[in-house]
Structures are given as structure tokens and as C-alpha cells.
Amino acid sequence: MKKILLIHGPNLNLLGKRDKNHYGDLTLKNIEDLVTGEATKYEIEIETFQSNHEGTLIDWIQQHSEKANGIIINPGALTHYSYALHDALFDTELPCVEVHLSDVENREEWRKISVTAPACIAKISGKKELGYIEGLKLLIKA
């Protein structure tokens, strides 16, 4: 495992300002720095990307997955309906881990559904930023 893509979907650029009960206090930059710092211990490079647009995320995944060994993704609300993002992740043939800051299993009914998780080796939710570190460790073992 040499390079991992850390991808965030819609509205996650506003972390730090969004509902702190669900998403915690950290900004997106804080989370990216946390994961990058942890990955450095394992000599893994982290490449980060965030977009509010489904197609932009898919284009970026297609352009960057060939040189990567795994993906950590928080797809935001796209989790619940983007079959296109599911297919983009599946088509990379890379081990992917889906991470949610909030406990999506215990919120609105529609948040319990993930159409992207079947393209992933694991789905981690409700552990705030620690979910990303758990995801990183799962990928290292994958």
C-alpha cells in the first residue's frame, strides 16, 4: 500500500461549521492532515480531493485510481443515491472504505441506505474523525 486517495463529497468542505453534534469540530483540512500524518508512519502517501459535484468526483476517481492502491471515501449525501459513484468506485478494482463522521444508522431512515457501500470492503460510521484512521488501518491490512 503506497498511495491512498482520501475523497470527500458534497458539503464536507464546510466541516467545522456544520452540525458539530453529528460531524464533530474538525475542519476538512484538519481531517486531511490527521490522516496524512498517520499514513506517514506507514510510509503511505495520501492524495486528497473534495467536490460538491457527482461528475467531478467520478472524473477525479477515474483519473487518479490507476496510480493508487486504495480509497477512503466519505461520499456525503451521494452515499444514499449515487449509483454512478458506486460504479466508479467498483470499476477502480481498488479496496475502498466508506467513512461517515456521524452515526448514519441512527439518524433519518434515508441515511441508513448506502448504495456506494457495496463497492467498498467496509463502511465505518459514527466514530467522527477516528473512523478515517480505522479505515486507513483496514486498507493497510487489505
Give the residue numbers annotated as catalytic, written as ranges: 23, 100
Return the DSSP state at 20: H
Q: Which of 76, 116, 123, 124 binds ligand DQA (CB under 6 A)?
A: 76
Is the C-alpha dihedral spanning 126, 33, 122, 59 positive or negative? Answer: positive
Least distance (Å) from ligand DQA to the CB of residue 67?
26
21 or 93: CB nearest ligand DQA: 21
Q: Which of 11, 30, 48, 52 binds ligand DQA (CB under 6 A)?
A: 11
Interface residues for ligand DQA in 14-73 (CB under 6 A)? none
Least distance (Å) from ligand DQA to the CB of residue 100?
4
SS3 content of the chain, % helix, strand, coil (to 5): 50, 20, 30
Per-position x/- string for 83-122, each x denoting binding to ligand DQA as judged by CB under 6 A, each - no binding: -----------------xxx-x------x-----------
DSSP string covering 56-99, please? Answer: HHHHHHHHHGGG-SEEEEE-GGGGGT-HHHHHHHHHHTS-EEEE
- The closest alpha carbon to 49, from 68, 22, 24, 21, belongs to 68
Q: Which three cell numbers stand for residue 53?
A: 459535484
Least distance (Å) from ligand DQA to the CB of residue 90?
19
59 or 103: CB nearest ligand DQA: 103
